[in-house]
Structure 1
């Protein structure tokens, strides 16, 4: 079907299927306040629909699948205040679409799968509570997200992807926050991506990942390293102040300093001459071993985090 103007069907009530697949409409399609009832099947079948401006479906009530796969909508696909229901199936299929702005503002929580695979959207307006329990967003690209929300509120949606872990989905969300100028949120998303990826790794790799996460947050939380180093420095300095290690050569040994002795143990690149001049005994010796091993691990983890930070920049 080819329509040289608009299709106006506001308030339409249909028991069965509305078919607009392959239609070319030079104006807009207006389905505001429509009620479409076709449970378990396509309530709106509009695959490869091409409109000149908008597909308006504000306050749409659809019991059945809304299928606009492959549609070309240069301005708005407006589903604000809509209620989409198709339990056990797809409630909204908008895969492989090119859409200017997709609006689900103040829509009811969607009952059924949302499929946006491979679609290109300039602006995506959907609140986290509107998304259903299962989504298909592999290959979905968007530039902007509204409303403006912290990353912690949007990350759970990525966990609902039916295909499992998708690195691209995290990269896309990161890019959207960077475009918005929210670098802190972008780092939060990247950290969540690495944590999610860790769950797919073998057990030994997961252990190394946990260590990087706890110490420096995979390089996204570098101040944690300073905190760990300070805590270990205070522990070692206090312990060695109470139990001075014996000098290896009493006539040649410098004055003992518990702080710099601990620094020598912790940092592989540090050499204040304390570690080579004194030898602890008993429990202090085991503490020194622990500080050396911990220092090496921490230094390696910090180096990995710095490398990852530099590669991002």
Structure 2
């Protein structure tokens, strides 16, 4: 069968290693594409033949601009050295590249009305830059050098917009600069579950939306370099977990200026995430969610470098099991304590211990002690302790600062001693509570002070009680009973001081 003139022009261009540009300076928007007639139409079967090399194809590849492709391009199982580059073209029936081995596939500025089936595709370059796809782009277990979807618009009514579970790239994945993906699929809008990305995952200035499931799922993926979800990136979902990073391993994570929201449940779920270097969700990062769970779930996340969180942009966080190196940002221990006390789903001992350890390592011992004291208070309030445990905790808090401020017990001991002395002088001397023992010298004021010291100081005996004794009057009996009580207090505060000084009562 002879080829139509426009198709013969494409054959000649491919044979010469040139681009066939049918658009020239004309419009290439959607309305213009749909108005193109037979003079701008290329059959999908011809593209297949050219890629296979059966029509004298040049290794420079099939390079076509401003054409309408008739039929679905099917390159299933084809291994070829011929690249395919379509610019500003309309593919009304989609594209199949499953199990193909090609040097490059580039659809730039195109419109695809149908799915792009490219599971297990092997290609050094795969590009959908500035392309609109009305259907799922499927790259399951594909092996690519680079995936470039810069500025692409992916929309699927029946499945994920980008389904790339098990994708492997030697270099980077670009979903950036106006990239938009939307779906109503419960499994996710953009799926990179179990992907292995050799470079960065760049989602800067991208937009992800899902009305039935997660919008961006990178669970169990490995990203060797940065994951960038910053510079105004927006992720929204009508269900829990707009962004899922469960079990992923990233070189670093940057979310500065990102806006993430879920109508139900947490906005970000990152249980078990590992970040080799820094994790930064700062500089205008916001996350919103609904329900009882934390908006930002960072449970058992391991960060090899520094941690930065914009605490003003997140209503609640779950930091249980989170570890990081160095002082977290913001540097204010007070702000972190407010977050741990008032913006976490419950008492989280490990989060306090991690924060205190970071400040202690940095040489801020006072802040570290304040954090540990705040932890004990939060434990008493929210950890579900028994009534007796709470009572003991409050008592040790008042007397010892939970073991971190033993000077409190020492001050109370000194106050007890002063009370004993005043009581001995006032009640014993001025009101007749003390009298001279028979056969001894007079009970002087100094002796009365000595009696007070004996009453208020454990193990200290001045000998004053050998000369002064309580009288049989009501005043003397009151002094005797008060003395027993003061000795009990003195022993208690002395014991607590020693226990606090030796850390015996610290329980965190």
Aligned counterpart, 1:52: 224
1:279 equivalenced with 2:463 (yes/no):
no
- Residues 110-151 of structure 1: CA distance to partner in whole angstroms, max 9, x if unpaired? 212222122211311013323323x33332211223325333
Question: Is contact 1:39–1:86 with CA below 8 Å preserved after alignment?
Answer: no
Aligned counterpart, 2:499: 304
Shift of residue 306, structure 1, vs aligned partner: 1.5
Question: Is contact 1:56–1:78 with CA below 8 Å preserved after alignment?
Answer: yes
Shift of residue 300, structure 1, vs aligned partner: 2.4
1:203–1:309 distance in 2 versus 1, CA, 3 Å: closer
What are the ranges of 5 or more consecutive residues in structure 1 without an aligned counterpart?
Answer: none
Shift of residue 155, structure 1, vs aligned partner: 1.9
1:62 equivalenced with 2:235 (yes/no):
yes
Shift of residue 85, structure 1, vs aligned partner: 0.9
Question: Is contact 1:48–1:72 with CA below 8 Å preserved after alignment?
Answer: yes
1:152 equivalenced with 2:334 (yes/no):
yes
Between 265-274 and 97-106, the greater mean CA deviation after superposition: 265-274
Output the CA distance in 2 between the equivalents of 1:204 and 1:94: 37
| Pairing 1:159-174 to 2, within 5 Å after superposition | 159=341, 160-162=343-345, 164-174=346-356
Aligned counterpart, 1:30: 202
Shift of residue 231, structure 1, vs aligned partner: 3.0
Output the CA distance in 2 between the equivalents of 1:104 and 1:271: 63
**How many residues are matched?**
309
Task: Name the SS of the counterpart of 1:88 in structure 2.
Answer: coil
| Pairing 1:1-313 to 2, within 5 Å after superposition | 1-10=167-176, 11-16=178-183, 17-39=189-211, 41-58=213-230, 59-64=232-237, 65-74=242-251, 76-99=252-275, 100-112=277-289, 113-122=295-304, 123-133=306-316, 135-159=317-341, 160-162=343-345, 164-199=346-381, 200-243=384-427, 244=429, 245-247=433-435, 249-252=437-440, 255=444, 256-275=446-465, 277-279=468-470, 281-308=476-503
Shift of residue 39, structure 1, vs aligned partner: 4.2
Between 218-227 and 114-123, the greater mean CA deviation after superposition: 218-227
Question: Is contact 1:136–1:161 with CA below 8 Å preserved after alignment?
Answer: yes
What are the ranges of 5 or more consecutive residues in structure 2 without an aligned counterpart?
Answer: 1-166, 184-188, 290-294
Output the CA distance in 2 between the equivalents of 1:198 and 1:248: 51
1:67–1:300 distance in 2 versus 1, CA, 3 Å: same
Output the CA distance in 1 between the equivalents of 2:496 and 2:380: 16
Shift of residue 30, structure 1, vs aligned partner: 0.8
Between 30-39 and 140-149, the greater mean CA deviation after superposition: 140-149
Shift of residue 178, structure 1, vs aligned partner: 1.6
Task: Name the SS of the counterpart of 1:63 in structure 2.
Answer: strand
Question: Is contact 1:119–1:140 with CA below 8 Å preserved after alignment?
Answer: yes
Shift of residue 103, structure 1, vs aligned partner: 0.4
1:232–1:179 distance in 2 versus 1, CA, 3 Å: same
Question: Is contact 1:77–1:102 with CA below 8 Å preserved after alignment?
Answer: yes
> What TM-score, normalized to structure 2?
0.56
Shift of residue 92, structure 1, vs aligned partner: 0.7
Shift of residue 171, structure 1, vs aligned partner: 1.5
Question: Is contact 1:37–1:43 with CA below 8 Å preserved after alignment?
Answer: yes
- Residues 190-218 of structure 1: CA distance to partner in whole angstroms, max 9, x if unpaired? 11222233343322332222221112212
Task: Name the SS of the counterpart of 2:266 in structure 1.
Answer: strand
Question: Is contact 2:190–2:216 with CA below 8 Å preserved after alignment?
Answer: yes
Task: Name the SS of the counterpart of 2:268 in structure 1.
Answer: strand
Shift of residue 179, structure 1, vs aligned partner: 2.2
Task: Name the SS of the counterpart of 2:421 in structure 1.
Answer: helix
- Residues 165-207 of structure 1: CA distance to partner in whole angstroms, max 9, x if unpaired? 3322221121111222211111112112222333433223322
